[in-house]
Structure 1
Amino acid sequence: MHLLRGAVRTYAWGSRTAIAEFTGAPSPTPHPEAELWFGAHPGDPAHLQTEDGDRSLLDALRADPEGELGQAVRGRFGDALPFLVKVLAADEPLSLQAHPSTEQAIEGFAREERMGIPVNAPIRNYRDRSHKPEIIVALSQFEALAGFAPAARSVTLMRALGVAELNPFINLLAGESDADGLRALFTTWITFPQPDLDVLVPAVLDGAINYLRSGEQEFAREARTVLELGERYPGDAGVLASMLLNRLSLQPGEAIYLPAGNLHAYLSGVGVEVMANSDNVLRGGLTPKHVDVPELLRVLDFTPAVDIIVHPDSVRDGAELVYPTPAPEFAVSVLTVDGEQLGHEIDAPTRHDGPQILLCTQGSATVHAKSSAVTLRRGAAAWVAADEGPIRLMSQEPTRLFRVTVGI
């Protein structure tokens, strides 16, 4: 077991304060810090802090896959860590995006390889052969657009804005089944000629302003989001698409799970994000980056997403909260030490014999494994190799540790 130094990713939508304050680093930072990666992704692996200096987790896995991953995990996923843990800090909206299924990723990767597109090229869609299911657990209030909303709600929203230019599109959506109507309308908007967008988007922004001035509250969040996106991305089809998606506000501890094909855009906030170890992204707008409309339409699932909020299950009298998902690559839970447990060694519930990444988000705890112990404070993480479990915790103050393992 070793402390794990994460890799900071700097993107324009990140925060100059959130990740720095979370880890105890100087704040504000010179550049926006968007993500802190704890994993073995080849693009930016985390580093083990050993007595002999820092060592890439990716190198450690390559040197001893059996000891680090365990026989069962190797049998299922080979010699690669199948999950990636991130702290995500968004001060501005991320791009509107979706991720492919495994079958789509395998086919897309092979196709782009045949075309000779370099893996790191800006126009590359598929950088690996994996799907990318993901869960985000809020650490602060977290705002998001996630999954298509039922068509009837989007129809009601657009009618409430009172924009005459929207009437043909309302009729298009209202005249079809949910999935067919959403597909038809989203496809129309994302392929709209720019001169038409330059007329329709401002009209919708005016409708949102008028709605908010009216004092109505049912769609106030949606109207504000339309205005915020329209200000940042004038004339972007993603501004219109936001009216078709679920607008969610998560409180700390609440979570969203997104399987393949779900269109989404994280708007603001800090959260712990766990995903399959993949970098496959199909973008649909709200970004200066490459947007491949035909490929995005190929992977999107237009079925309304009505069950993407994840409700954690309590294990062993509340010592662990498990966020259930169907993803085989990862399992996410939170270990809590408080009350009468303080000052005593607590055995963490045994998940299985695979590796673990622990991330402290509150308090401080000493983590004991078979042959070593480390102290985790807020913002610090640890790698527990498969041959180092199970673990025990000791804390003198209320403490929360995110624990990520391979799915059962």
Structure 2
Amino acid sequence: MRRLHHTSREYDWGSSEDIPRFLRESPDGRPVAEVWMGTHPLGSSTVDADDGELSLASLAGELPFMLKLLAASRPLSIQVHPNAQQAEAGFAGEEEAGVPIDAPHRVYRDAHHKPEMVYALTTFDTLVGFRPTAEILRILTAIESPLAGSLAESLNARPGFSGIVRVVETLLEDKPDVAEIDQIVTSCRDLAAQGIDIKRAYATAVEIAEDHPGDVGVVMSLLLNRLTLQPGEAAFLGAGIIHAHLRGMCLEVMVSSDNVLRAGLTSKHLDPVGLVGCLDKGMSRLARVTPEQFGFSTDVFSPAVEEFALSITQCSRAEPRGAVLPDAPRRIVVCTGGEVELVNEHGDRVRLQRGESVYADGSDGVLHGIGTGELAQAYTPTSETPDAELTDLI
């Protein structure tokens, strides 16, 4: 077992409080948005070594998964992640064009697809996937706005998934002006004040407009489902699912990738053509994840993808020899609460407090957690990993 150290990202949507406090550090006012745990070349973790620190990638090779700690105090960009074929082609194209890997306008920073799973640490709000056609039409027709009326007319003429994608394409190709967006926000505010809201669509648009006034993403939010996860709940987002996280702190476990196609609610590079191209491939899976139990104290969130799974282990004095974690050849274990001593099969011990983490490989064997606290483990599932129950949200 090796203690890990990670890189953090300071994006404008991040929280100045949540991640520093989780890491038991004093907030300094900067918006800390993410902590990356893994071997991605743009932010590889390091491990303690005899002569300082060593890149985790040099010790473990390239891990197929990445674990992120994410904290949002305002909405993230509306975005989509590519599938494997799109990622390979996009990465090859930008490499051939000589676009620097860290260039702000670079879209494909690796050749991997990017399905992901969100595990809520606090109440976590997000927009994920398109609402059903009938629901979108109900939302739009109640809004007093020529723009909303024209979008509803377009969707009436071409209902279903492809029609919704065409509405998105229209909004991105012929962006409405600020006055049109403000008119929609005003109508949404009036409807919400009257107690009229359709699955939080109007309240969400008003909320987003406070952080991103005049942004086309405000209008696009009306097309998306709003999902709230309570602490301990998880959702799986396949590649190609449009989404925009709103607020809260979570763990994200995903394929080790940083490929993001954005369409709004951000100052970063936008790729509306690429985003629509991803959506045109059809809907991927979006589902709540109900874990399977492992042993007495562990929930396994395994969404049946080959690259990653997440286990959550509750450690207590009820198991004096320690709670057993699922075995795996390569894993990242982070303490998400309390204080736990992690013990491998050789009797080596590492004491972890909230926010501290270790890397373990096959030589460590089965791990036990002793103490009172919670351990999250990201790992590649094996043939013995139980598949979690997925309940489709769309």
Give the secondary-structure state (helix, strand or coil) at the position aligned to 1:126.
coil
2:209 is the alignment partner of 1:230 = yes
Partner of 1:275: 254
What do the CA deviations read for 1:33-91 (whole angstroms, capped 9, x no partner)?
A: 11111111211221213454332212323xxxxxxxxxxxxxxxxx4111111110111
Cα distance in 1 for partners of 2:292, 2:157 equals 40
Establish whether residue 407 from structure 1 lines up as the match of residue 376 from structure 2: no
Aligned to 1:333: 311
Alignment of 1:150-189 (within 5 A): 150-189=132-171
**Which residues of 2 match residues 260-339 of structure 1 at below 5 A?**
260-300=239-279, 307-317=286-296, 319-338=297-316
Aligned to 2:57, what secondary structure does the other structure show?
A: helix
Contact 1:284 1:292 in 2 (8 A): yes
CA contact (8 A) 2:327 2:365 kept: no
Q: Which piece of structure 1 moves more, 308-317 or 280-289?
A: 308-317
Deviation at 1:315, TM superposition (A): 2.2
The amino acid across from 2:378 in the alignment is V
Given the alignment of the two structures, is residue 47 of structure 1 paired with residue 23 of structure 2, yes or no? Answer: no
Structure 1 residues 116, 53: CA separation in 2 closer, same or farther (over 3 Å shift)?
A: closer
Superposed CA RMSD: 1.9
Whole-angstrom distance in 1 between the partners of 2:94 and 2:114 = 18
Aligned-partner SS, 1:16:
coil
**Which stretches in structure 2 are left out of the alignment for 5+ residues?**
383-394
> Is contact 1:94-1:266 (8 Å) kept?
yes
SS at match of 1:161: coil
Match of 2:184 in 1: 204
Describe the shift of the 1:328–1:301 C-alpha distance in structure 2 as closer, same or farther (beyond 3 A). Answer: farther
1:11 lines up with 2:11 in the alignment: yes
Write the deviation string for residues 171-222 of structure 1: whole angstroms up to 9, x where unpaired: 22133342121112111111114xx332321111011111121023544x32
Q: Which has the higher strand share?
A: 2
Q: Share of identical aligned residues, percent?
A: 34
Q: Does the residue aligned with 2:314 lie in a helix, a strand or coil?
A: strand
Name the TM-score, length of structure 2 as normaliser.
0.91
Which is further off, 82-91 or 1-10? 1-10
Name the residue aligned to 1:34: 33
2-structure distance, mates of 1:405, 1:218: 39
Normalized per residue, the structure richer in helix is 1
Runs of 4+ in 1 over 4 A off after TM superposition: 301-307
1:367 counterpart residue number: 342
Residue type of the alignment partner of 1:325: P
Give the Cα–Cα distance (whole angstroms) in 2 for the partners of residues 301 and 400 of structure 1.
Answer: 41
TM, length-normalised to structure 1: 0.88
**Where do residues 365-404 of structure 1 align in structure 2 (5 Å cutoff)?**
365-371=340-346, 372-395=348-371, 397=372, 399-404=373-378
CA contact (8 A) 2:241 2:283 kept: no
Deviating more after overlay: 39-48 vs 167-176 = 167-176
Shift of 1:250: 1.0
Aligned partners of 2:137, 2:189: CA distance in 1, in Å? 18
- Which residue among 173, 197, 200 is the counterpart of 1:191? 173
Alignment of 1:101-116 (within 5 A): 101-116=83-98
The answer (yes or no) to whether the contact 2:14–2:73 under 8 Å persists in 1 is yes
- Cα distance in structure 2, aligned partners of 1:154 and 1:304: 17
User: In 2 relative to 1, CA 370–190 (structure 1 residues): closer, same or farther, beyond 3 Å?
Assistant: same
Partner of 1:76: none
Counterparts of residues 70-109 of structure 1 (less than 5 Å):
79-109=61-91
Conservation of the 8 A alpha-carbon contact between 2:185 and 2:205: yes
Q: CA deviation at 1:137?
A: 0.5
CA distance in 1, matches of 2:50, 2:366: 22
- Whole-Å separation in 2 of the counterparts to 1:339 and 1:176: 60
State how far apart, in whole Å, the 2-side matches of 1:114 and 1:384 are. Answer: 37
Distance in 2, matches of 1:217 and 1:122, equals: 38
Letter aligned with residue 264 of structure 2 = G
Amino acid corresponding to residue 254 of structure 1 in structure 2: E
The 1-side partners of 2:46 and 2:149 are apart by 55
